[in-house]
Amino acid sequence: MTFTFRPGPATRPRPTRATARTRRTALAVVMTATLLDLVDLTVVTVALPTIRTGLGVPYGTLPWIAGGYALAFAVVLVPGARLGGVHGRRRVFLLGVGAFTVASAAGGLAPDAGTLVAARVAQGAAAALMVPQVPHLIDALSPAAGRRRATAVFGTVIGLGALAGPVVGALLLESDLFGLGWRALFLVDVPVGVACLLLGRRCVVERRDPLAGAPDWPGTAVAAAGVLLILYPLGRGPGAGWPVWVPLSIAAGAGLVALFVRRERARSRSGAGSLVVPSLFAVRGYAVGIGIELVHGVLGGLYLLAWCFHLQVGLGWSPLRTALCMLLFGAAVAVAAGLSCDVLFPRYGRTVLQAGALTQLTGALLYGWQTRALGTDIQVWQILPALILLGTGMGLTVAPLSTLLLTEVPPEHRHAAAGLGNTTYQLGTALGICLVPLAFLRLLDTGHPVPAAFSHTLRWLACLLLGVLALTCALPRGPGHRRAGGPLTGAAAGDTSPVR
């Protein structure tokens, strides 16, 4: 059911100027909240070297400043969407905005690394409350004639937010706003969040989904505990010398994940409602697509964090120069993603994903060779071909996944399938970030130069991309337009991953 500002056709008046202004303000509020989430997901990437020196953060803790946000977002996303359906999209959205603002203030005022990590986790959980409500609120706020345009603007906001994070972070660091240093990256969210909260209370309309099931918080807790028990030792183990608690923790986490899977199957059979629809994994295209989502999330989390350290610590580049280099990579992703979704994938199907994986693999091998051969003398123009190959390959591979995942999914499960795809990508990102100590930072601790450590990380990427290539071969054959029904758009599915 769609709620709008217009009554039925028989009594429909022309919208007043105040009503139209209120609607535009409300749309600006919900889109600004989405922008806050996307920027804050990546804004710390270029700031981690500065945060490390400012707070004295050990290498083993650094990944949690970035990965804690992604992990909390992934775990709370599906329950947060259902919470909005039951208790009201506006109410849960405003709760998320308020919690996000408080968490941002806590991060900006953090006296130590532990407090900063806790604030980042709280930010991610709060974002998972507000972001899945946004597509529903846009639908409720937009008149039928303007809904397509509002959805297009929302998609543009997603694209710009994903690319803007590192640049915003670099500009705030370079300007040293009010002498706050890296703290400005978090504190700048506070006035924006307060404005969204105040305006949202006045302008955003309420919407409920009568058929939405209540969140399964016990299942969420089991899944979160299992994932945390697996990821934490992977990040801590390399710096701690792999003590005995590491394999024990991973084994316990695997047991909890298995318990979660068993619980979801039982709830699905009983009709009680589950976080995950087990029958989706009987669809080959969906099961393989979820695997590709996971591996590409790992690739993104591992590569971007190690790459940032390579550019700033290894090459001595400024945060702004680093961010602009990342922007070139992001631009290649965006261009290839649009070409893949609109032109190539509907015609060539899985061949596009295979070409994307091979293109990324070529870029990783080229970049690894350049890093070993040129060391710290490498320049932007020299690595530009590798960046274009890596970005183009990522755009070609990941962009069609939101379509591919839903190709054979029954209509009644499409929202659940899309939400699980986004959750899987975010979990993969958290896993990739937690692998940075193993694939990169431990080599710095043992005295390896940064270029050599980064070259080692690129070999990890090459192995993961071979895995992606193998998974694409298991996808169903045939062009991408042969599907049971049209896919949900990113906005409709609540999808906010960076490359879609």
- What are 260-290's pLDDT values in tens digits? 889 888 887 776 667 778 888 888 888 898 9
- pLDDT of 59 higher than 80: no
Q: Please give the distance of CA 241 from its chain centroid, rounded to a whole number.
A: 31
164's tokens: 């803007």
The pLDDT of residue 147? 62
- What are 199-213's pLDDT values in tens digits? 999 888 888 776 556
The pLDDT of residue 10? 40
- pLDDT of 14 higher than 80: no
Residue 21: pLDDT band (50, 70, 90) is: confident
The pLDDT of residue 145? 56
- What are 230-255's pLDDT values in tens digits? 888 887 777 777 888 988 999 999 99
Neighbours of 322 (CB within 10 A): 24
229's tokens: 């028990």
- pLDDT of 490 higher than 60: no
Q: What is the pLDDT averaged over residues 173-180?
A: 85
- What are 382-420's pLDDT values in tens digits? 899 999 999 999 989 888 887 888 888 888 777 778 888
The pLDDT of residue 478? 63
- What are 78-99's pLDDT values in tens digits? 888 888 888 888 999 999 999 9
- What are 137-157's pLDDT values in tens digits? 888 777 665 666 666 666 666
Q: How far apart are the C-alpha atoms of 75 and 249, rounded to whole Å?
A: 19
The pLDDT of residue 184? 92
Least confident range from 186-200, 347-361, 379-393, 403-417: namely: 403-417
Q: How far apart are the C-alpha atoms of 363 and 462, rounded to whole Å?
A: 9
Between 34 and 150, residue with greater pLDDT:
34
- pLDDT of 437 higher than 90: no
For 483, which DSSP code? -
Average pLDDT over the chain, rounded to whole?
A: 82
Q: How far apart are the C-alpha atoms of 204 and 111, rounded to whole Å?
A: 36
Least confident range from 147-156, 160-169, 318-327, 454-463: namely: 147-156
Q: How far apart are the C-alpha atoms of 410 and 445, rounded to whole Å?
A: 50
With a pLDDT cut of 90, the percent of the chain lying above it is 26
The pLDDT of residue 144? 61
The pLDDT of residue 426? 87
The pLDDT of residue 272? 66
Residue 377: CA atoms inside 13 Å, Cβ hemisphere, count? 3
Residue partners of 309: CB distance under 8 A and separation at least 6: 48, 49, 440, 441, 450, 454
- What are 322-340's pLDDT values in tens digits? 888 888 888 888 888 888 8
- 48 and 66 Cβ atoms separated by less than 8 Å: yes
Residues counted in the chain? 500
Least confident range from 32-41, 105-114, 302-311, 442-451: namely: 442-451
Helices (H), 43-146: 48-55, 62-87, 89-108, 113-130, 134-141
Residue 499: pLDDT band (50, 70, 90) is: very low
